[in-house]
Amino acid sequence: MKKALFVVVWLASVFGGHVQTSHAQGGMSLGADLGGLGSLSMGGLTGGGAAMPSALVVKLRGEVQCMGCTLEEMGVDQEPGDLYQLTHEKTHMVIKVTQASPSMAWELVETHKFFLTPGEFPQKLEQLLSESQAGKELRLIGGIAPSNGYFAPLSVDVR
């Protein structure tokens, strides 16, 4: 519980939101308002009717390695290291993650292949797919469901 409390408080401070607690039937509920990016509770990421159960909010920084390719096509599917494949329908891209925070949340990620989902902000997914090119730097904030490999971009900056 201490680790979960730290993550929720840290995320609220990073995203300019605030921590919410409530007490019911002798238990305590803990969550964070992420300042316009939705809210995070112990049950997952929610906002605007969209929900990703068990999702965590992460900040990623990296570089696009290739567009239209997969880890398998790059020959690194067995030992991808810092490479991650992002897929939406029939569009694939591979990125090299150079920084992820909170590192505690990123350590929970079980896969190197993520399925992109529009979540609450479909325009952010469209921006990610349309602006990304090999060699471009990415700065992403998104909800990630570590166990099933879904990623919903909340903030996208392609440089």
Please spell the DSSP secondary structure of 126-149, one letter per residue: HHHHHH--TT-EEEEEEEEETTTT
- Alpha helices in the chain, H assignment, sequence order: 2-14, 71-74, 103-106, 122-131
The CB density around residue 146, as the number of other CB atoms within 10 Å, is 19
C-alpha 83: how far from chain center = 15
> What are 90-125's pLDDT values in tens digits?
999 999 999 999 988 888 888 899 999 998 889 999
**Which residue stretches of the chain have pLDDT < 70?**
1-53
- Which residue in 61, 70, 86 sits closest to 150, CA to CA? 86
User: What's the pLDDT at 146?
Assistant: 82
Its pTM stands at 0.70
User: What's the pLDDT at 52?
Assistant: 62
- Residues linked to residue 31 through DSSP beta bridges, in sequence order: 20, 41
Main-chain phi, psi angles of 2, to 5 degrees: -60, -40
Write down the domain spans for the chain.
2-47, 56-158
C-alpha span between 96 and 118 (Å, rounded): 21
